[in-house]
Copies of this chain bind each other. A is one copy, B any other.
Amino acid sequence: MTRQELIDLIYTRRSFLCVGLDVDKNKMPEHLRNAEDGVFQFNKAIIDATIDYTVAYKPNLAFYEAMGIEGLVQLKKTMDYLHSLDKPAFTIADAKRGDIGNTSQQYAKAFLDPKGDFNFDALTIAPYMGADSVQPFTVYDNKWVILLALTSNKGAFDFQFLPVDGEKKLFEQVLETSKQWGNPDNMMYVVGATKADMLTQVRAIAPKSFLLVPGVGAQGGSLEEVCKYGLTNECGLLVNSSRGIIYASNGTDFAERAGEEARKLQQQMASVLK
């Protein structure tokens, strides 16, 4: 999906919501836990209930890998389903990969290759290993790197805020340096909603870039704050909610309740997109 297609989708659906498909069997409705293709059935129901309010879906790979190979089969079915729909959605593999150049090429193939098992639009990448660990992900047409800048967790304070080379913080240096590796048409950044006040600093370095913002909901981030500091005149935000939507209920009404939660967020988003 191109940048313009993403922007058009946001303004058509009047939403910049990303639904995190972080499926944990222990939190799924009981009737699906041991059902055949239960994880896929769960995801399918969530997608059907939320797609009118959502522009993106973000499965976190960890949850699928934790189920072993069978988990990845369920992820492939989910992706095949998303690709089969008339309604488009931007798909993000939240995988936080990154390795030396020739190895990152393999990860890029795994997640972004249109002929691969998954064919995601985008992939999250950790910046620690630098340029050659990130650049192989930028070579696929209309595909995206989403680089970790400022994460939503407590551990973000261990390194990301360290002052480097004088006054700049490490996450600012990551934003600055990575401009040489991509551009606002193929690179986004992760900036946690729990650090919304930092969005001003992020926007000073990356005024046009899309930001993927996790941490609204269960992690305590505020949508209002995120919009206040992060919104651009092309929206420029994808705000993710995972647990707050997909586990709104663990009963047979889980999909209906997920749809309601997504709709609530969409309505808030529609009002700021005016």
- CA distance in complex: A63, B24 (Å): 26
30 A–B contacts, CB within 8 A, in A order: A22-B103, A60-B99, A62-B107, A62-B110, A63-B106, A65-B107, A65-B110, A65-B111, A66-B106, A66-B107, A66-B109, A66-B110, A66-B116, A69-B72, A96-B98, A96-B129, A100-B219, A126-B126, A126-B129, A128-B128, A128-B159, A128-B160, A129-B156, A130-B156, A130-B157, A130-B158, A131-B158, A132-B153, A159-B173, A159-B174
Is A170 engaged at the interface, CB distance under 8 Å to the other chain? Answer: yes
Q: Is the CB of A153 within 8 A of B165?
A: no
Residue of B nearest to A104 (CB): B62
Is A274 engaged at the interface, CB distance under 8 Å to the other chain? Answer: no
Is A152 engaged at the interface, CB distance under 8 Å to the other chain? Answer: yes
Residue of B nearest to A67 (CB): B110
Give a binary string over A53-79; 1 marks a CB under 8 Å from any B CB, 0 the rest: 000000010110110110011001000
Interface, chain A (partner B; CB < 8 A): 22, 24, 60, 62-63, 65-66, 68-69, 72-73, 76, 94, 96-101, 103-104, 106-107, 109-111, 116-118, 126-134, 148, 151-160, 162-165, 170, 173-174, 177, 219
